[in-house]
Amino acid sequence: MRIFVVQESDWIDKGPHQQHHLMERLVLKGHEVRVIDFEIEWRGKPNSELYSKRKDFNGVSKACKGLGVTVVRPGVLKLPLLDYASILLTHSMEIRRQMVEFKPDVIVGLGILNTFIAMQIGKVYRVPFVYYLIDTLHTLIPYQPLKFLGKHLEGHTLKHCDVACVINEELKRYAVEMGARPEKVHVVRAGVDVKRFNPNVDSYAMRRKLGIDKDDVVLFFMGWLYPFSGLREVAMELAKVKDSYPNTKLLIVGEGTLYHELQQIKENYSLRQLILAGWQPYEDIPEYIAASDVCLLPAYNNEVMRNIVPIKMYEYMACGKPVISTRLPGIVKEFGHNNGVIYVKQPTEVLKKVIELRNDDGSIKEQGSKARNFVEKYSWDKITESFEDILNSLVKNANQTKS
C-alpha cells in the first residue's frame, strides 16, 4: 500500500508524535509512505532566505530503526502570514505531482490547509482520504483572525472525509460536533513502546549525571514548553518551599516559548532544584523518565489541551511512574480514576499533591504500578495493526467502487 501523508508541521524536527510511530511501523510492515511537511519553526532559525526551495529527505526515522519514510518539503515564502498563503500554491502543485508520480492508494491528512487541498485533489484522482486528528487543530493557529477560517476548513474536511481517525473519546465527540458522521469516526488510541519504556530502565546513571541524590524526589515533564503548560506555576511553588523541601526537584526536558522564563525563575530565586535539560534525543528519554519519581501534566484546561491525550502520558505510565495531571476532560475520560493518574484542579496544587504522596509510604510506587498495568494493552504493534486494518478496508472499498 502506498500511503501519502500531508501535514503543516515539521516532520523532521518535531516529535516523534503519533504519526511518526504509525507511519514508520507501517513502512517496516512493507508499506511505502511519503510525507509532505512544512517547516513551521522557520521564524526561530537564523535564515537569510526569502524563499526556500523544495527539498527531499529520504529514509527519515524518528521513532523506529529501519527504512524510514520519504519527506517532501515544498518551497515556501519565509514571510509571516505569506508562508501559509504560499502553501496554497506550492503544496497544491506538490500534491498534484505526487498523485501522478507516487500514485498513492490512500491519503492521510494531519493539518488544515494542505489537508483540505489534498482531500479536494484526492477526490479528482479518486483516492480515499483519512482525516487524522491528534489535536483540535484550529485552536493551534497562532493568528487569532485566522482561527475562524481554520475552524471552517477543519469542519468541512471532517464532513467530507471518507474516514476520520482520532486518538481518544473526547476527540471523537469533538469530531462529530464539527460535522463528522459518527459511523465514520474511528478511535485509534495513542500507543507506547512497552519494551523501550518500562519500569526496569536504569535510573542511577542519569541521576548521577544530573546531580540528583538518591533521596531526592524528582518531578518530571517533557515536551514543548507552552505558556499554558503550567510549569511556570509549579516552578514558582517550588521556589516558595525550596528551603523546607530541599530534596524535591523539578526536571524539565524540552524547549519552547516558556524556556527562557523558566531560566529566569531559576536565576532570580536561586532555584537549584529546577533542572532544565533542554531538548534531548528521543532514545535517551526513557532514562530521563526513569530518573524521576512522579511525572507531570499540569496544563491549563484551555481549548488547546481540553480534548487531547499526549503520547507522553503513555510513556510516563509505561515506565511505572504515577502522573499528576490537571483535570483535563480528555485525560479524565481516557484514564479514569485509580489507574495511576492523580488529578489536581490547577497547576499551583501540584507540589502539595506531591508532598502528600511522599508522606504516604509506598503510595508513589503503588500508583506507578497501576499506571504501568493500565498502559500495557496500548502497545504500538496493536495500535498500528488497527490503523492498518482501517486503511486496508478503505482502499479495498475504493478499488471495488472504481471497478
Helix 82-101 and helix 113-124, axial crossing angle in degrees, nearest 10: 30
The rounded distance, in Å, linking the Cα atoms of 341 and 325 is 7
pLDDT of residue 394: 95
pLDDT of residue 121: 97
**Mean pLDDT, the chain, whole residue set:** 93
Residues whose CB falls within 8 Å of the CB of residue 34, separated by 6 or more in sequence, listed in order: 2, 3, 4, 5, 69, 70, 71, 72, 98, 102, 104
**1 falls in which pLDDT band (50, 70, 90)?**
very high
More confident residue, 324 or 83: 324
CATH, range 204-375:
3.40.50.2000
One DSSP character per residue, 9-58 reads S-TTTS---HHHHHHHHHHHTT-EEEEE---TTGGGS----SEEPPEEEE
Lowest model confidence (mean pLDDT) among 44-48, 144-148, 200-204, 326-330: 44-48
Q: By three-state DSSP, how is residue 76 classified?
A: strand
Give the up-direction half-sphere exposure of residue 386: CA atoms within 13 A in the CB hemisphere.
15
Average pLDDT over residues 341-352: 96
Bridge-based pairing of strands 76-77 and 69-73 is unpaired
Element holding 392 (H helix, E strand): helix 380-402
pLDDT of residue 304: 86
**321 falls in which pLDDT band (50, 70, 90)?**
very high
For the record, the C-alpha cell of 33 comes out as 509512505
Residue-range domain boundaries for the chain: 2-191+380-402, 204-375
pLDDT of residue 47: 66
pLDDT at position 78 over 90: no
pLDDT of residue 55: 94
Shared fold status for 2-191+380-402 and 204-375: yes
Average pLDDT over residues 144-161: 89
pLDDT digits (tens, 9 = 90+) for 194-223: 999 999 999 999 999 999 999 999 999 999
pLDDT at position 384 over 90: yes
pLDDT of residue 48: 63
Residue the block writes with cell 511525572 = 295
pLDDT digits (tens, 9 = 90+) for 279-290: 999 999 999 999
Global pTM value: 0.83
pLDDT at position 359 over 70: yes
pLDDT of residue 340: 96
For the record, the C-alpha cell of 293 comes out as 519519581
CATH architecture of 2-191+380-402: 3-Layer(aba) Sandwich (3.40)
Average pLDDT over residues 362-380: 93
pLDDT of residue 403: 66
For the chain, give the percent of residues with pLDDT over 70: 99
